[in-house]
Amino acid sequence: MSLSQNARRRWPVLTLAQQDAWVGFLFVLPRLLGFLIFALAPLVAVFVFSFEHRNLLTAQATFAGLDNYHTMVETDPVFRRMALNTLIFSAGLVPLNVLLAFSLAVMLAAPFRGVTIFRTLFFAPVVTSTAAWVIVWTFILQGDQGPLNQLLALIGIQGPNWLREPASAMGAVIVTRVIKTVGLNMVIFLAALQDLPRELVEAARVDGAEQLQVVRHIILPFLAPSLVLVVIITLIGSLNIFDHILLLTNGGPANATMVLAFYVYFSAFKTYEIGYASAIAVVLFLTALTLTAVQWALRRRVVYLET
Amino acid sequence: MTTTSRWAGVLAAASLLLGACAPTAQPTSEVQTIVVTQVVAGTPVERVITATPEPTADRSAEPVSLRFTTWTGNEAQLAVLNAIGADYTALHPNVTVQFETIPFDEYPTKLSVQLAGGDPPDLGWIVEVVAANWIEAGVFEDVSDTLQAYPGYDYDDLLTAPLSLWARDESLYAVPFSTSPFFVLYNKDLFAAAGLETPDALLARGEWTYAAFADAAKAIAEQGGAGVYGYLGVEGGNMYAANLWQTLTPFLWAYGAEPWSADYATCGLNTPEAIEAVSLVQRMVVTDESTVPPGETASFTSGQIGMAFGQLSRIGALKDATFEWGIAPLPGGPAGARPTIGQAAIAVFRQGAHSDLAADFLAFMTTEANVARLAQFWPPIRQSVLDSGVIAQNYPAVDAASLDAAVVAGIANGNVVPSHPDFAKLDLALRPSFDQLWAEGADVQTLMNQACESGATFFKP
């Protein structure tokens, strides 16, 4: 006897539709409670804390109104620097990641000998722990003794001390992050490409289309829904970047790689200003939400095949 | 010794290698004193240590469990801590002490979250860098009265200078369990290969200065070639990041400079003395290229490093070293030699459920006898324990005279690296100027002026 039939027996006053609805609700209730307690409640708490002067050490809190937001915008030069760093990081990471993932997917969509090896190779960093990844790259990107610079020296180029010079550190962080995460986006594009009707490509080729034209007029429009998804998740990921930077540069040198998520951590757990940290987190959250909403609103202009 | 049954206490000599001691007899409820035997310079010495018959607070027989947080996971260290806890339980059967390990990297963060959640430990280890901030925030209980009232405590035996970080006027907010001076670890083989006199020889002639130190580092790097450096910074750390202040401060002090004034009112980084000191470090990094460069990792144990700032806790890693090494005090400078110490202390949390009892346990834990037991791992802050020769006994691999000069004298006369109530923010503000210091052509005066300007918000009386 099914659960639904049992429910109907116990609740004879409810209509069948209502009984089904209740049973369905009971099934999702554990997940819903988990979301309310562990996701929504902390989110609400962060909003509330952002309007307080709250110290983590003393656990004392007083209402602050908009003080934290005022400090952030008007008097904290560190926040402005972090916001700029976050902008630079996202502006570098998102296009690079999406373009590379798209290119790899197009190249690895064709069935050729060894394609699985290449797909695995590019996806492997995604499942590698960030700590291990960072240790390897810290070694590779050392100054004169680093393998990369020794390689460059062979062709007469003196590389910088990648992670220790402000001019190169952010670039190094972006590139190492792109290589770490590009495999996931590549898989999303690859999955979408599996559904691409081959006759469309073949017809285009019969009509004399070059590879670039096929990509531009057939593959790209077909992948547009996936593209929007990939851009959104990559952008959100770029705004939340934390562990990678903490381990690779710890925000240095000269605070050149310190981003807003890092500043949230710093304010909460280094200076114990949990109210101020919450305000920064709210700004970060609203930024991600706004950018996602804008992209979602714009999707109809680029997505032709959404159903 | 009065009344009372004693803890006839003599621990086997084997357990006293370290000059440590412990009670031996089964305690009773009437116990008032403990007699221990401590080996000092190979001779057993009986010491009488008075213990309170009951805690000074929470006299009820209700079972109480004190939670004590540490960052050590070392089983031998935890065994000593648990033994002290068990001895306290023997005196106070209703009290047990639970030691809880939190990894060092997460320690302040997890502790702050526990404080915020209203569930702090009763006692805990505290690292020096957060001392000023946490004391100002009122996190710790003032234990001065409890310690001074504790029978047989001998408060004046605690060394004054190393205690200063944790004291405010007449109040004391923690008792250091580890007072570890920095010294110079040097590779004798590399010194010999470069045809240099050892630091000990220079010290004997009164010529062991930072100028000589820098010259030796340069000579070692030049002679050693690729991969060999004269200086590392702090062994096990990073002189350009986490250990910047521990690396710079000895240089600054030797030249008569302070990074900032003791009352936090003024920045001292752009004074002529500070410029001279910082310029020397910059010369070593940029011009001489005698230090391990930023971004590269190295260890003194590799045998490729001429000198490093070290502490006693690093000595153990050298037991299998394939090269000859030695230790020497930190060099001096125009303002003389001023030892620098690193510290960790035990504090009682004001929010704790049993803060009076916790203070009582802190007093018990830092009596002369228990400090002697702890001294097998952590350099003590008690003059009497220091005088007992405990350091030399615990580090037989190191020349006793060098230990006396570099460690014992360092503990007695050393100062802790400057702290600040807003240290994290100040460090964040100053750090960009120092990060730029290691680039070729960087102007020290300009950058130090910039540092003082960036940190101006935090330099107010």
Q: Which of A161, A250, A271 sits opposite B294 (nearest CB)?
A: A161
Euclidean distance between CA atoms B196 and B221, whole angstroms: 12
CA A35 to each of CA A28, A293, B359: distance values in angstroms, whole numbers, following the listed order: 11, 22, 43
What is the reported pLDDT for B59? Answer: 52
Window B:2-21, CB contacts with A under 8 Å: none
CB pair distance less than 8 Å for B137 and A166: no
Which residues in chain A land under pLDDT 50? 1, 307
A272 touches chain B (CB under 8 A): yes
Contacts of A81 in chain B (CB under 8 A): none
Partners of A23 in the β-ladder: none
CB pair distance less than 8 Å for B435 and A166: yes
Alpha carbon of B120: minimum distance to chain A alpha carbons (Å): 10
Name the residue in chain B with its Cα closest to that of A272.
Answer: B112
Residue of A194, A230, A283 lying closest to A98 (CA atoms): A230
Residue A53 parent element (H or E): strand A52-54
**How many cross-chain Cβ pairs, A to B, lie less than 8 Å apart?**
82
CB pair distance less than 8 Å for A78 and B296: no
What is the reported pLDDT for A250? Answer: 87
B438 touches chain A (CB under 8 A): yes
What single letter denotes the amino acid at residue B260? W
Interface test with B, best of A164, A249, A255, A262 (most B CBs within 10 A): A164
Alpha carbon of B137: minimum distance to chain A alpha carbons (Å): 7
CB pair distance less than 8 Å for B137 and A144: no
Q: Phi and psi (nearest 5°) for A138?
A: -60, -40
Alpha carbon of A271: minimum distance to chain B alpha carbons (Å): 6
Residues contacting B298, CB < 8 A, separation 6+: B229, B232, B292, B304, B305
Contacts of A252 in chain B (CB under 8 A): 241, 431, 435
Q: Specify burial of residue B379 (Cβ count, 10 A radius: 0-12, 13-18, 19+).
A: buried
CB pair distance less than 8 Å for B422 and A143: no
pTM: 0.80
CB pair distance less than 8 Å for B112 and A78: no
What is the reported pLDDT for B9? Answer: 30
Q: Which of B112, B134, B295 sits opposite A163 (nearest CB)?
A: B295
CB pair distance less than 8 Å for A270 and B294: no
ipTM for the complex shown:
0.77
Name the residue in chain A with its Cα closest to that of B451.
Answer: A254
Q: Which of B241, B293, B432 sits opposite A161 (nearest CB)?
A: B293
CB pair distance less than 8 Å for A270 and B424: yes
Alpha carbon of A78: minimum distance to chain B alpha carbons (Å): 8
Contacts of B294 in chain A (CB under 8 A): 143, 161, 164, 253
Which residues in chain B land under pLDDT 50? 1-32, 34-42, 45, 47-55, 58
A255-300 pLDDT, tens per residue? 899 999 999 999 999 999 999 999 999 999 999 999 889 888 887 7
B213 token code pair? 């130190």
Q: Which of B112, B117, B241 sits opposite A272 (nearest CB)?
A: B112
Contacts of B424 in chain A (CB under 8 A): 266, 270-271
Per the prediction, chain A carries an average pLDDT of 88
Contacts of A145 in chain B (CB under 8 A): 226-227, 296
What single letter denotes the amino acid at residue B31? V
Contacts of A142 in chain B (CB under 8 A): 295-297
What is the reported pLDDT for A2? Answer: 53
CA dihedral A33→A37→A41→A45, nearest 10 degrees, is 170
Residues contacting A206, CB < 8 A, separation 6+: none
What is the reported pLDDT for B138? Answer: 92
What is the reported pLDDT for A46? Answer: 94
CB pair distance less than 8 Å for A253 and B435: yes
A33-73 pLDDT, tens per residue? 999 999 999 999 999 999 999 988 887 889 999 999 999 99
Name the residue in chain A with its Cα closest to that of B134.
Answer: A57
Name the residue in chain A with its Cα closest to that of B129.
Answer: A270
